[in-house]
């Protein structure tokens, strides 16, 4: 029987599993499974548990149509804490590892954020947003029955440039603080206060300190640093251990408490700087960068549009206090690596895949969350010494029974300056080498991100419609070293454009089944900018879809939540040089656009505000060009990845229909 290709609506049948957590004895695993409730048009997340030694399915541990996520084992392994929005906002709950009713620990009107267990298992530290005149005791408590209250209209007073952010909206005057709650008594404590944001990292093994990060610079608008602090739990004193010269996070303690590992950089190339592993020795009070000579990005920078609730745990220490494991992004893969204090680095799990989560028992057992182009999301156990993996879940097998997932072929081609660039070609569903197929070029956002060997629902849907899908990592992408990722800065629309067009030329020459007269292009964010740029500089594409795009760097400078500094970092210009900003703006070339262009944008996108789309649409319509504009209500920059499910489906359907109509 011939299977059908992937359809947009299949998104509603697929499940994502993420955030593996091994029990302290290494025998059980917790993870989060997320699906979509079509009736309520919402996401559902629940905890699942599985004994690694048993050949049985995972057992569902929480229930209901809510978001239950971020599980963490107690140090003794007898309890599980997690976050749930079942009462209307995110609160911390604790339950026995044997199951049963979960006990609610926090009761705040606006909810809480990240949390960690104390080493003795008696307290939990958590993040909460408070106004300067509020304390943990006076913060508004959650009402048992939340009623709609009339909001009094009042002016928003703005005195800082960083007054809004995509996803969170306008700043409400609160700062992220660190607080604690006693498991038995419910007694609350507050460890930080003031007009700075503190981000919870990890608790020292002896219980004396909590590692936190933050930027204490009073002039926040022009500060882009994050320091690491040791917060004394008893005295509440902060001791800064970094030098206010970079950005650091994912801080973890060695089991003996002597070392702190962190990921970060000194921002030599602004936001294009590779993140590296740093070690702070508390005995000698010295820093060392263990990966200074390794031209690889630490962490997971692979782009996807499917996984929900992914967590990069940072450096995972072994019990010997000397070696550790971590994720890194390299040549289309996010892989698991081994490292030690001597600076040795080796791959621990190196295949063509996307490892988007990992847990480690400190000895020889790990669990990894893996995605591949034809495998959306599953958990695997990993024996460190042998590299042997065993699949623990098959959450999408039933949904994919009648669907043909399209394989990909990786290749490299030579671009401008002799640069080697990686690309992939996804074959159309039910491929017949004797037929001719249209091709759609996909351009990723960032620009400092990476396409790779991961599941992409949009790609599979387009392949399911009988299209060849071409995706590549032009200069500016992560995964190919510091010089490569930095090469796009100051050159938007230059050699990055040449890389993309050379990828198309290479594919047309290598794959004879592509119809050169039926080409399409699409992308979002930076990929939207590049889609706009491409159709303003070539007529070879028969249709284009630009998503959450940038069209005008002059206005972007003032309207985006990151506009002024991102423009200065990336275009390397500001409002003192309007000519340069306009030169790099796709809107400047709108007279040359002949390609039918569909414009997709979220109404509440503060990263690339919708006025960018409005300008482009009006300019095109004024010249009677073929275009259409879809405005997605309440949607922000994350629409394609974690947005309203029905709007995600509407977006995918619009992309499919536009290409079907014009190519």
Active site residues: 525, 637
- What whole-number distance in Å separates Cα of residue 226 and Cα of residue 247? 4
CA distance 202 to 209: 9
Identify the CA nearest to 486 among candidates 215, 265, 336, 286. 265
Ramachandran sector of residue 418 (left: φ over 0; alpha: ψ -120 to 50; beta: rest): left
Residues 6+ apart with CB under 8 A from 332: 302, 352, 410, 422, 424, 450, 451, 452, 453, 473, 479
Q: How many CB atoms lie within 10 A of CB 149?
A: 7
> How far are the Cα atoms of 220, 489, 569, 628 from residue 272, in angstroms, in the given order?
21, 8, 9, 34
The two three-digit tokens of residue 253, written as one number: 């303690």
Which residue in the block uniquely carries the two structure tokens 């977006």? Answer: 651
DSSP state of 8: G
> Do 601 and 612 form a contact (C-beta atoms < 8 A)?
yes
Residue 65 CA, distance from chain mean position: 24
Burial string for 245-255 (b: 16+ CB within 10 Å, else e) reads: ebbbbbbbbbe
d(Cα 135, Cα 604) in Å, to the nearest integer?
31
**CA–CA separation, 313 vs 122, rounded Å?**
23
Please report the DSSP string for 351-394 in residue order: SSSEEEEEEE-SSSEEEEEEEETTEEEEEEEEETTT--EEE---
Element (H, E) at 629: strand 627-632
Kindly report the number of other CB atoms within 10 A of residue 540's CB atom. Answer: 16
Q: Which residue has the tokens 């006025």?
A: 611
Could you give the strand order of the β-sheet that contains 227-232, starting from the edge strand earlier in sequence?
Answer: 198-203, 209-214, 227-232, 238-240
Distance (Å, whole) CA 225 – CA 270 = 10
Closest CA to 395 of 33, 56, 60, 31: 33
Per-residue exposure over 360-387, b if at least 16 CB sit within 10 Å of its own CB, e if not: bbbeebbbbbbbbbebbbbbbbbebeee
What are the φ/ψ torsions at residue 612 (nearest 5 degrees)? -65, -40
- Can you tell me whether residue 619 is helix, strand or coil? helix
- Provide the 10 A C-beta neighbour count for residue 537: 15
Instruction: Write phi, then psi, for 590 (nearest 5 degrees).
Output: -65, -25
Instruction: Write phi, then psi, for 198 (nearest 5 degrees).
Output: -115, 135
Q: How far apart are the first and last CA of the chain?
A: 29
């Amino acid at each position: 029987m011939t299977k059908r290709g992937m359809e947009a609506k299949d998104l509603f049948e697929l499940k994502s599993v993420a955030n593996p957590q091994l029990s302290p004895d290494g025998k059980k695993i917790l993870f989060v499974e997320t699906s979509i409730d079509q009736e309520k048009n919402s996401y559902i997340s629940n905890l699942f548990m599985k004994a690694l030694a048993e050949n049985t399915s995972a057992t569902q541990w929480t229930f209901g149509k809510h978001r239950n996520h971020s599980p963490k084992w107690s140090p003794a392994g007898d309890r599980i804490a997690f976050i749930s929005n079942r009462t209307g906002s995110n609160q911390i709950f604790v339950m026995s590892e044997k199951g049963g009713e979960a006990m609610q620990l926090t009761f705040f009107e606006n909810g809480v954020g990240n949390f960690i267990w104390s080493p003795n298992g008696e307290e939990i530290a958590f993040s909460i947003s408070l106004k300067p005149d509020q304390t943990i005791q006076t913060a508004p408590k959650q009402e048992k029955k939340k009623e709609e209250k009339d909001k009094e209209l009042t002016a928003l007073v703005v005195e800082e440039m960083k007054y809004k952010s995509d996803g969170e909206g306008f700043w409400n005057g609160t700062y992220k603080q660190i607080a604690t709650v006693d498991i038995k008594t419910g007694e609350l404590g507050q460890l930080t206060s003031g007009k700075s944001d503190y981000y919870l990292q990890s608790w020292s093994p002896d219980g004396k300190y909590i590692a936190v990060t933050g930027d204490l610079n009073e002039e926040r608008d022009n500060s882009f640093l994050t320091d690491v602090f040791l917060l004394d739990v008893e005295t509440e004193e902060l001791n800064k251990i970094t030098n206010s010269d970079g950005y650091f996070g994912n801080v973890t303690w060695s089991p003996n408490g002597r070392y702190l590992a962190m990921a970060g950089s000194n921002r030599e190339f602004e936001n294009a700087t590779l993140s590296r592993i740093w070690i702070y020795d508390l005995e000698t009070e010295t820093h060392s960068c263990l990966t200074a000579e390794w031209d690889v990005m630490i962490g997971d920078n692979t782009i996807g549009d499917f996984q929900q609730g992914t967590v990069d745990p940072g450096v995972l220490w072994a019990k010997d206090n000397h070696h550790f494991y971590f994720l890194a992004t390299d040549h289309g893969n996010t892989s698991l690596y081994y490292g030690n204090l001597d600076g040795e680095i080796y791959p621990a799990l190196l295949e063509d895949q996307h490892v988007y989560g990992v847990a480690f028992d400190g000895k020889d057992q790990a669990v990894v969350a893996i995605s591949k182009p034809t495998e959306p999301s599953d958990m695997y156990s990993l024996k460190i010494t042998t590299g042997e993996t065993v699949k623990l879940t098959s959450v999408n097998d039933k949904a994919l029974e009648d669907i043909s997932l399209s394989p990909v072929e990786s290749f490299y081609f030579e671009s401008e300056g002799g640069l080697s660039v990686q690309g992939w070609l996804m074959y159309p569903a039910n491929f017949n080498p004797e037929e001719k197929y249209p091709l759609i070029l996909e351009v990723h956002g960032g620009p400092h991100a990476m396409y790779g060997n991961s599941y992409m629902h949009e790609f599979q849907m387009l392949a399911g419609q009988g299209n060849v899908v071409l995706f590549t990592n032009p200069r500016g992408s992560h995964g190919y070293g510091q010089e490569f990722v930095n090469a796009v800065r100051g050159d938007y629309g230059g050699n990055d454009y040449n890389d993309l067009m050379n990828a198309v030329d290479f594919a047309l020459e290598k794959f004879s089944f592509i119809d050169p007269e039926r080409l399409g292009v699409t992308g979002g964010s930076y990929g939207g900018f590049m889609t706009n740029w491409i159709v303003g500089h070539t007529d070879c594409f028969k249709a284009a879809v630009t998503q959450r795009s940038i069209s005008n760097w002059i206005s972007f400078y003032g309207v985006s939540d990151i506009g002024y500094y991102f423009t200065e970092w990336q275009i390397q210009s500001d409002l003192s040089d309007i000519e340069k900003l306009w030169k790099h703006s796709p809107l400047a070339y709108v007279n040359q656009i002949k390609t039918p262009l569909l414009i997709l944008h979220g109404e509440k996108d503060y990263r690339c505000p919708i006025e960018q789309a409005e300008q482009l649409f009006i300019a095109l319509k004024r010249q009677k060009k073929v275009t259409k504009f879809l405005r997605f209500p309440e949607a922000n920059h994350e629409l394609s990845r974690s947005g309203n499910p029905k709007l995600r489906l509407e977006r995918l359907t619009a992309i499919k229909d536009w290409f079907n109509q014009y190519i």
